Structure formats: C-alpha cells, structure tokens
Chains A and B, each alone.
Chain A
Amino acid sequence: MSQPSEARPTRGPDAESRAWLAGLRADGARGEDARHRLHDLLLRAARFEIGRRRGSLPHLRGGDLDDLAHQSADDALLAILAKLDGYRGESRFTTWAYKFALLEAAVKLRRRAWQGREVPLEPEHWAVLAGPEASPAASAESRDLLAAIAAAIETELSAHQREVLVAITLNGVPIDVLAERLNTTRGALYKTVHDARGKLRAHLADAGLRFENETIEAGA
C-alpha cells in the first residue's frame, strides 16, 4: 500500500545511508566494524526507549533493564541484517534501523511488565457497557450505543473475536502481550480486532446508530 516513488524527490538512499549499507555488506574487518557500530546505535536507541518507559516498570532493577537493552539491540541487529535488502532509502538508514531497536525494546518491556500476570479475556469493565446505573454520567445517546455494542459483542462476534477485542480494547492488555500468550503476532491480532470492529460498525449501521467522528471531537 505504500508508494515508494513519492517518498522523496531524489530516489534512493543518501550518501551516509549508502555507506552504512556498503559497510554492513562488506566482508572481513570492515563488515565487522560496521555491525559493531550499528549495534552501538541500536543499544542507545533501546536504552532511550527503556528510559522513556521506566516509570511503568518500577519493579525492574537497573541491571535487568540494561540486560533488556542488550537483548533488544542484539535482536534488532539480527532483524536488520536479515532485512537489509528491504531498506529502500525512503528514510535515512539510521531512522530505518532505529525502529527495529525501539520495537524490540517496547515489546520486551510490555511483556516484562505483564510477566506472571493473568491476561483477562472476559470484560473487567463490562459494567461500562452494561446499563444506565453503571455509567450514570453517560449521555442517553452514549448509553444507547454502548448497550447496542454490548449486545452485538455477544451476538455478532466469534468467541475468538470477542476475547481479543475485549482483552485489548476494554481490559487494556497490550497487544504484544496477548500475542505472546496466544502464540501469534501483533499483526494477526490486530486483524482480528479490525474485523470485529467492522462487524460491530456494520451492526450499528443496520440498527440506525452512528458513532460520528465530529461527536468524538466535540466530546473529547
């Protein structure tokens, strides 16, 4: 779905990015050196990400966090070397490379934060959807919508769609944590969420109910 030809007025990687590619593809000491330098960058990126999120991980010690940064950099380097041909020069090489380190660190942190915790698949906040008393401040219109959605979740979705949608959107389970528990990927789970949302939207439309973006903006 992306359109590479539009990415930049000039095609292909800039000089610095080309130097990275050449270095990483080189044999012997030069290749070794390039991989070492890249690993340093990835480690810095992973530490940056961990620094941003460390408030959410008060129980993790500094040593654990640095181990996690090293693991993230190691895994990111492997992913990058395996996907080097996929870099098309649509951004600087370092920007492209950083995203792998950030992803590895973010996923590992989310999983670490949920280690040993049960992942709730049944609605913990079902009350939000259950009825007028549960959310007294909700507008009548919101209540109608929420009640219709609660019913549609029961009648329109498969058991798997229901569990995944509820865990991720109502119970706040990080998608990467759920993916690990269910032995699948973020992308596959998001597809399930997307399909479930589509069914709910279609059902609401059939019932003549609408959830308009303008209303979201006005209320937010």
Chain B
Amino acid sequence: MSERRRPDDVDVLRGLLGPEGPELSCEACFEALDRYVELELSGADADARVPGMRAHLEGCGACDEDRRSLRALIEAGLASAPPAPAD
C-alpha cells in the first residue's frame, strides 16, 4: 500500500497526467454533450453509452464545466418553457 497523497499533490498530478485510457476529443465531447446530459438526467448509464466521455470530462475542465452548465439549465426547468412553433 502506498501512503496517502494530500489533495494538493493529487490535484497537481491529476492535472499533469490526465485520465488513463482512451478519451473523446473536445469536438466529439461537444457533439455528444446534449445526449450525455439527457442520459445522465434520465438515470441511464451515460458513461457506458458514450464511451470516452467520462475520461474526457476528467481531463478537460472546460468541457466538464459545459456539461455541468447544461445539466443545471435542464434541471432548472428552462428547457420546457416556451412551446415550439406550431405547424
């Protein structure tokens, strides 16, 4: 067993070394973001359905902020506000 690392060191190490394993690009992350957030909110296994997304969100702070914003917006109920234009 290794010694426990202090959070500061862990943050630095995590930032420098990033996630392990394959991850999406920022472009592919943005492409999948709406689907991923709806899966998350529906209780589905979003990480299994969108491979590489979780790793990217761990490695890319900006994309993860975008995810949290979209999730918060949908949760706030703005999404269902005005009706779509009628046919």
Chain A interface (Cβ within 8 Å of chain B)?
1-3, 6-7, 16-17, 19-20, 22-23, 30, 33-34, 37, 40-41, 44-45, 48-49, 52, 90-96, 98-99, 102-103, 106, 110, 125, 128-129, 135, 137-142, 145-146, 149, 153, 165, 169-170, 174-176, 185-187, 190-191, 193-194, 197, 200-201, 204, 211-213, 215-216, 218-220
Contact = CB atoms under 8 A, between A and B. Distances in A.
A215 B85 contact: no
B35 A90 contact: yes
Contacts of A52: 69, 72
Contacts, number: 182
DSSP class of A's interface residues: helix, strand, loop or mixed?
A: helix
A141 B30 contact: no
B86 A19 contact: yes
10 contacts: A1-B24, A2-B31, A6-B49, A44-B81, A102-B70, A102-B73, A106-B65, A138-B8, A194-B59, A201-B20
B3 A170 contact: no
Nearest to B65: A106
A161 B34 CA distance: 31
| B interface, over-half SS | helix
Contacts of B87: 19, 22
Contacts of A40: 82
Interface in B65-85: 65-66, 69-70, 72-74, 76, 78-85
A216 B10 contact: yes
B5 A186 contact: no
Nearest to B3: A139
A87 to B, nearest CB: 9
Q: How large is the interface on B (under 10, 10 to 19, 20 to 34, 35 or more residues)?
A: 35 or more
A190 B13 CA distance: 17
Nearest to B60: A190
Nearest to B20: A213
Contact of A96 (B16, B34, B61, B83): B34
Contacts of A99: 30, 33-34, 66, 70
Contacts of B25: 187, 190-191
B12 A193 contact: no
Nearest to B5: A219
Contact of A44 (B12, B31, B78, B84): B78
B35 A34 contact: no
B11 to A, nearest CB: 9
A219 B62 contact: no
Contacts of B13: 142, 145-146, 149, 211, 216
Nearest to A149: B16
